[in-house]
Amino acid sequence: MPHPSSHLAALFVLLACCVAPAAAKDAKEQPLRPMQIQELYNCRDIADPTERLACFDREVGELQTADIQRDITITDRATVQKTRRGLFGFTLPDFGLFGGGDEDEIKSIESTVASASQVDGGRYRIALADDSVWVQTDDRRLALAPRAGQKIQIKTASLGTYFLSLEGRPSIRVRRER
């Protein structure tokens, strides 16, 4: 018969498994914010107008110093989207650097072929106009070789893979090389 403490340990493990996803979700929903920004926001809570203005002046100065010294970087949504698009196809850890959530995630890109060459086993290595390079990972044969200037679309697929469609033809599975 199992010892009562083993039942207690199993209960704690079960609780930890249930609580961990909820805690991770809460942590992910809270935006990563530099201390200098939070201190500036905290000035709003000061009731006395003179003290509030002094706080704003002090914290804006701290923010400006941090910006000049490149301790922080302030960016806009368009720049974040451009960066996400440039990193499309790479598997990177989620440090919360790009803010947003699923609604900001890039699920596909469109570009044109800059060059293409056949590599081992008749697969293709395709360089795009944006300087990214994609390599075919499946054995599907293309009826026509990719040519410079052709339009392509790359979409996310399951399990971290991607599909490349060349001018609407059947897709091939690819991975980003560069």
Rounded distance between C-alpha atoms, residue 163 and residue 169, angstroms: 11
Mean pLDDT, the chain, as a whole number?
76
CB 116 within 8 A of CB 146: yes
pLDDT confidence of residue 160: 77
The 10s digit of each residue's pLDDT in 35-79 is 888 999 999 999 999 999 999 999 999 999 988 998 888 777 777
Q: Is 128 exposed, middle or buried (CB count within 10 Å of its CB: 0-12, 13-18, 19+)?
A: buried
pLDDT confidence of residue 31: 56
Rounded distance between C-alpha atoms, residue 68 and residue 169, angstroms: 50
**Higher pLDDT residue, 142 or 82?**
142
pLDDT confidence of residue 94: 54
Has residue 112 got a pLDDT over 60? yes
- pLDDT band with cut points at 50, 70 and 90 for residue 17: very low
Look-up of token digits 């010892």? 3
Q: Is 46 exposed, middle or buried (CB count within 10 Å of its CB: 0-12, 13-18, 19+)?
A: middle
pLDDT confidence of residue 75: 77
Beta bridge partners of 162: 156, 174
**Higher pLDDT residue, 79 or 23?**
79
pLDDT confidence of residue 34: 83
Rounded distance between C-alpha atoms, residue 161 and residue 177, angstroms: 12
pLDDT confidence of residue 45: 95
- Mean pLDDT across the stretch 129-146? 87
